[in-house]
Amino acid sequence: MKKKYFGTDGIRGTVGQPPITADFMLKLGWAAGRVFSKQGHGTVLIGKDTRISGYMFESALEAGLSAAGMDIRLLGPMPTPGIAYLTRTFHAKAGIVISASHNPHEDNGIKFFSGEGTKLPDEVEFAIEAELEQPMTHVASAQLGKAKRVDDAAGRYIEFCKSTIPANMEFRGLKVVIDSGHGATYHIAPNVFEELGARVTTLGNKPDGLNINDQCGSTHPEKLRQQVLDTKADLGIAFDGDGDRVIMVDHKGELVDGDEILYIIAQARHGEGKLQGDVVGTVMSNLGLEHALDRHSLKLKRAAVGDRYVLEMMQRDGCVLGGESSGHIICLYRTTTGDGIVSALQVIAAMNRSGKSLHELKSSMTKYPQVLVNVRMERKIDIAKSDIVSSAVRAAETKLAGSGRVLLRPSGTEPLVRVMVEGNDMIQVKTLAEEIAEVVKAAVKAA
């Protein structure tokens, strides 16, 4: 069965266009409340990022949950991983996140966490969708859910973040620039690092409801790079709008992406004898990560693109560390979901223990040039079954001679085929990517 509303990361879209409307959110709160109430009366937490539509959807979800007889705890602006953590510590039935992550303010979405702080299983999402098809009802007046605001939510999560590094570790003398992307970490991240002793300069920490992810944060690190260089900081840290992704900048202004962050953490954990299982990346993880891990006798497993699939592979194969190039890093030995602040803390802890700078730690991994070409499909075809495309891919792989790879991946959200070629020669990689893209275009046209 295919879900009608839920995608790989909750329900997401443009504000004002179905299903991202106030009336749908009212019904969604009720439907979710109906499903959660079958486990008995309890509480659902609601948190959000800083986009303006969060006010409207928070109220609608609250009303729907109350109509279904569920109590509500309102967390206010809070990073997605913070909501996952608080859902566990409150022993809540579920947690709801109102966020569209790294997207602009015009978009919004809903993610759910189970009582264990993990994403909902498919059967629960199907159950919620089934309730959405039913007429909305109300429990008796005496059974309506009550709502309270959690005033110390930020403080609770700050203390949790600090607890993910050794209690005797301090960051005194460390100069850090933090870009919160005018998002949900704006009042959390600076406090975490300041309380650990770092000298913090802030960017992107004045949200107005409209400026979330606007030329700032993990998807636009240009201002962060310049600020690190201008202030001669030791490093910079950029989060996305809901705080589950992180990108870093070293003291030379060089970007440190998710693959490099994953390598630094894996290398440090392995050196301490604390890394359990393999490291999980995605089919898009840089080949340089695979080769760098191999030098430490560590294996990179590749999941489909999407943190949901990374987490599924980690849980299935008994791994505790995984992530994506975008900076969505999952440290299961510390928490249950991707957490930008926790991941950054693990990197700085590795710096602290080794006495090395961020630049030194990431320099032992050499990234391979990677070229991505998007080919639009006027009509949908199964590229994998095209003989001329398969032949072009094999020819390219022969030319790469084991020093690179080719990946063709249909987009899950757009009518596109993504052609990715990776290798140690940028000119060759670019040429091969363009050649394969032309073959794909011809195959689409001929279909």
Is the model's pLDDT at 8 over the cut of 90?
A: no
pLDDT, average across residues 311-315: 96
Indicate whether 33 and 67 sit together in one domain: yes
The reply to whether 288 falls in a domain is yes
Q: pLDDT tier at 413 (50, 70, 90 boundaries)?
A: low
Domain presence at residue 73: yes
Does the residue 440 lie in any domain?
A: yes
Residues 396 and 343 in one domain: no
CATH number of residue 187's parent domain:
3.40.120.10
Write the CATH number for 395. 3.30.310.50
Q: Which residues pair with 7 in a beta bridge?
A: 10
Query: What is the Cα–Cα distance from 387 to 214, expressed in whole angstroms?
Result: 43
In angstroms, the CA 299 to CA 230 distance is 39
Residue 45: inside a domain: yes
Query: Does 240 share its domain with 352?
Result: yes
Look at residues 446, 382, 429 and name the one whose alpha carbon lies nearest to residue 408. Answer: 382
Residues 216 and 349 in one domain: yes
pLDDT tens for each residue of 83-127: 999 999 999 999 999 999 999 999 999 999 999 999 999 999 999
* Predicted confidence (pLDDT) per residue in 247-298, tens digit: 999 999 999 999 999 999 999 999 999 999 999 999 999 999 999 999 999 9
| Strand, coil or helix: 271 | helix
Q: Is the pLDDT of residue 414 over 90?
A: no
- Shared domain check, 166 and 133: no
Count of domains for the chain: 3
Indicate if 130 and 270 belong to the same structural domain.
no
How confident is residue 384, by pLDDT bands cut at 50, 70 and 90? confident
Per-residue pLDDT for 380 more than 80?
Answer: no
d(CA 401, CA 405): 9
pLDDT grade, residue 382 (50/70/90)?
confident
**In-domain check, residue 239:** yes
DSSP assignment of 289-330 equals: HHHHHHTTT--EEEEPSSHHHHHHHHHHHT--EEE-TTS-EE
- SS3 category, 401: coil
Boundary of a domain, candidates 314, 333, 363: 363
> Residue 422 is encoded by which pair of tokens?
């990776």
Q: What is the pLDDT, as a whole number, of residue 1?
A: 76
Predicted confidence at residue 233, as pLDDT, reads 98
Is there a single domain that holds both residue 191 and residue 68? no
Between residues 75 and 413, the one the model is more confident about: 75
pLDDT of residue 323: 98
User: What pLDDT was estimated at residue 206?
Assistant: 98
Residue with tokens 């979330």: 212
Q: Is the pLDDT of residue 35 over 80?
A: yes
Judgement on whether residues 317 and 428 belong to the same structural domain of the protein? no
Residue at 2 is within a domain: no
Which residue segment(s) compose the domain that 437 sits in?
370-446
Per-residue confidence at 237, pLDDT binned at 50, 70, 90? very high
The mean pLDDT of 31-38, rounded to a whole number, is 96
- Is residue 5 in a domain? no
Q: Kindly state the average pLDDT of the residues 300-312.
A: 94
Q: Which of 37, 53, 101, 343 is catalytic?
A: 101
Domain's final residue, options 363, 378, 400: 363
Q: What is the mean pLDDT of residues 150-173?
A: 97
Angle, helices 53-67 vs 22-37, to 10°: value is 40
Q: Which of 256-260, 341-345, 347-351, 409-413 has the lowest mean pLDDT?
A: 409-413
> Is it the case that residue 412 has pLDDT exceeding 70?
no
What's the CA gap between 326 and 323, in Å, rounded?
8
Residues 301 and 161 occupy one common structural domain: yes
147/162 same-domain check: no
Same domain, 224 and 284: yes
What pLDDT, on the 0 to 100 scale, is given for residue 9?
85
Same domain flag for 58 and 83: yes
What pLDDT was estimated at residue 218?
97
Q: What are phi and psi of 39, to 5 degrees?
A: -90, 5
Q: Please, what is the end-to-end C-alpha distance for the chain in angstroms?
A: 28
pLDDT band at 415 (very low <50, low <70, confident <90, very high): confident
Across 301-324, average pLDDT: 95
- Per-residue pLDDT, averaged over 354-366, amounts to 96
Active-site residue flag, 99 = no
Whether 418 shows a pLDDT value over 70: the answer reads yes
Which one of 311, 331, 363 terminates a domain? 363
164 vs 443, more confident: 164
The answer to whether residue 65 is domain-embedded is yes
